[in-house]
């Protein structure tokens, strides 16, 4: 019975949306690992679009065949004969371990995996990689996941998916162990994997081991990545010591004073904030690493349970016990190193916070000294101003004393007032004395008007300047 669709029963305002046949073709829909009930093929395509892939495939391949390890470097997987040879060796029944190394090159935040999309899809088909691995590969925050697949009622494959955060070690790992054939496949994507390549080639020499563990390859990767984090920690520690020397208040003593000048404290604050950000990334990476290794310890026990029916190492077969105990011991050591590295990262961040507080206090002290100097200068200016004011008061007082006499002398010295000696020193007033008042009063009023007009213009100009400044601040 067919279910109703919009095409059969059209509804007003609704349109039918269908996925084209081209979108449902190709990878991952043609992969043997694709299951439409468990995976979203369209989302897988979208995730692959976000992964930075190269236009050339250059990988390395390691295999453990009949107890003897072989490492092949610089393989051009785009060449048909190279890919065919690798895939034919992959199906060899005597091959107990296969590792594919996909390096990553480029700048820190713009690295690309050295494999093309076509080669990655072909490799995933041949190895029957679960589709959910691409969810892990495209993730940048770090994640880990375990999966056991069954054939009828029996466990057939044990899978591990890991993606390290992209801060320092941007790596992705796919691990699968065939519980029926005791064969292991591992895909390693990321930077700094050349060290893992050489270590794997040295570990699986015929003269070194008579028995191997599937988790040995994962243990090798973990050990190398733990070792790779130590130079980053040391570099951050050295940088912080140099910054502590600039404040003069560090956890280490220096024979020579390296304290920076007060004018460089703001730049020192910027350096401390940059160091704090780098330490935050480092702490996140180490914290993830510590949790990931503890999770691997639990998954190692799960794999032993699936293989031997017991999680206890003491209950393993005698010829298997030393190898599995070695893996467990190595993972335990890596977990301890990661935990201590995490504590060291937290200590470094606390030291940075102390230096930020010290630098802020130094800046505050410098500002206080500057404000005190400004206050002293203002006090001196005020004292000088007061002294000038006292002098002006003295001058004004003297002016007030002599002003009446000066006015009277000037008034009677004009031609309008005379003393006639012939008439017995008689005081006479000229009839035209009003001309003095007629000229003086208008000039005085004109002078006062000009003064008032000038004050008004100055006040308006100040108001316009304040309005312009306010409008510019609002626009910014």
Q: CA–CA separation, 465 vs 156, rounded Å?
A: 83
**Looking up tokens 């599937």, which residue turns up?**
214
pLDDT at 23: 61
Q: Which domain, by its residues, includes 203?
A: 27-209
pLDDT at 6 over 50: no
Greatest mean pLDDT among 66-70, 342-346, 385-389 lies in: 342-346
For 161, the 3-state DSSP assignment is: strand
Residue 26's pLDDT band, with cuts at 50, 70 and 90, is confident
- Summarize pLDDT for 102-143 with one digit per residue, the tens: 998 876 667 889 999 999 998 898 888 998 899 888 888 889
What whole-number percentage of the chain has pLDDT above 90?
Answer: 22
Instruction: Indicate the number of domains in the chain.
Output: 1
pLDDT at 145: 93
For 241, the 3-state DSSP assignment is: helix
Asked, for residue 75, whether it belongs to a domain, the answer is: yes
- Summarize pLDDT for 368-393 with one digit per residue, the tens: 888 998 999 998 898 888 888 888 88
What is the number of alpha carbons within 13 Å of residue 37 lying toward its C-beta? 0
For 447, the 3-state DSSP assignment is: helix
Asked, for residue 372, whether it belongs to a domain, the answer is: no
pLDDT at 193 over 70: yes
For 14, the 3-state DSSP assignment is: coil
Asked, for residue 104, whether it belongs to a domain, the answer is: yes
pLDDT at 346 over 80: yes
Asked, for residue 382, whether it belongs to a domain, the answer is: no
For 57, the 3-state DSSP assignment is: coil
For 149, the 3-state DSSP assignment is: strand
Asked, for residue 140, whether it belongs to a domain, the answer is: yes
- Using CA atoms, how far residue 211 sits from 95, 214, 318, 322, 397, in Å, is 14, 10, 11, 9, 115
Asked, for residue 426, whether it belongs to a domain, the answer is: no
pLDDT at 211: 65
Asked, for residue 344, whether it belongs to a domain, the answer is: no
Asked, for residue 49, whether it belongs to a domain, the answer is: yes
Q: If you average pLDDT over residues 202-220, what whole number do you get? A: 74
Instruction: Please give the model's pTM, rounded to 2 decimal places.
Output: 0.73
pLDDT at 38 over 80: no
Q: CA–CA separation, 115 vs 118, rounded Å?
A: 8
């Amino acid at each position: 019975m067919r279910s109703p669709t919009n095409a059969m029963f059209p509804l007003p305002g609704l349109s039918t949306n269908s996925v084209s046949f081209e979108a449902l073709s190709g990878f991952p829909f043609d992969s043997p690992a694709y299951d439409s009930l468990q995976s979203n093929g369209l989302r897988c395509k979208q995730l692959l679009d976000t992964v930075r892939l190269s236009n050339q495939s250059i990988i390395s391949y390691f295999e453990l065949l009949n107890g003897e390890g072989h490492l092949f470097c610089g393989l051009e997987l785009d060449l048909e004969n190279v890919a065919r040879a690798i895939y034919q060796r992959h199906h060899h029944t005597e091959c107990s371990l296969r590792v594919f190394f996909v390096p990553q090159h480029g700048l820190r935040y713009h690295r690309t995996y050295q494999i093309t999309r076509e080669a990655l899809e072909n490799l995933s088909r041949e190895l029957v990689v679960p589709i959910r691995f691409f969810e892990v590969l495209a993730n940048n925050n770090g994640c880990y996941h375990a999966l056991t697949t069954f054939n009828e009622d029996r466990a057939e494959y044990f899978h591990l998916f890991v993606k390290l955060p992209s801060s320092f070690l941007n790596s992705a790992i796919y691990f699968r162990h065939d519980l029926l054939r005791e064969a292991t496949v591992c895909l390693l994507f990321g930077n700094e994997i050349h060290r893992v390549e050489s270590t794997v080639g040295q570990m699986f020499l015929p003269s070194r081991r008579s028995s191997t563990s599937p988790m040995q390859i994962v243990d090798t990767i973990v050990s190398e990545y733990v070792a790779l984090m130590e130079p980053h920690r040391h570099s951050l520690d050295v940088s912080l010591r140099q910054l502590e020397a600039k404040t003069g208040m560090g956890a280490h003593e220096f024979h020579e004073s390296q304290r920076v000048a007060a004018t460089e404290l703001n730049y020192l604050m910027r350096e401390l904030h940059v160091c704090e950000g780098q330490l935050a990334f480092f702490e996140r990476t180490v914290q993830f690493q510590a949790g990931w290794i503890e999770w691997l310890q639990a998954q190692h026990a799960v794999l032993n349970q699936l293989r031997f029916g017991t999680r206890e190492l003491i209950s393993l077969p005698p010829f298997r016990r030393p190898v599995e105990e070695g893996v467990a011991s190595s993972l335990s050591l890596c977990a301890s190193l990661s935990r201590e590295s995490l504590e060291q990262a937290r200590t470094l961040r606390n030291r940075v916070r102390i230096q930020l507080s010290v630098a802020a206090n130094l800046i505050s002290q410098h500002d206080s000294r500057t404000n005190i100097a400004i206050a002293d200068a203002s006090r001196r200016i005020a004292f000088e101003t007061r002294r000038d004011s006292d002098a002006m008061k003295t001058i004004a007082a003297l002016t007030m004393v002599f002003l009446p006499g000066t006015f009277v002398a000037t008034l009677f010295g004009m031609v309008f007032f005379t003393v006639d000696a012939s008439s017995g020193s008689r005081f006479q007033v000229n009839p035209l004395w009003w001309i003095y008042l007629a000229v003086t009063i208008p000039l005085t009023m004109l002078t006062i008007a000009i003064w008032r007009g000038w004050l008004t213009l100055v006040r308006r100009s100040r108001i316009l300047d304040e309005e312009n400044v306010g409008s510019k601040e609002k626009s910014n």
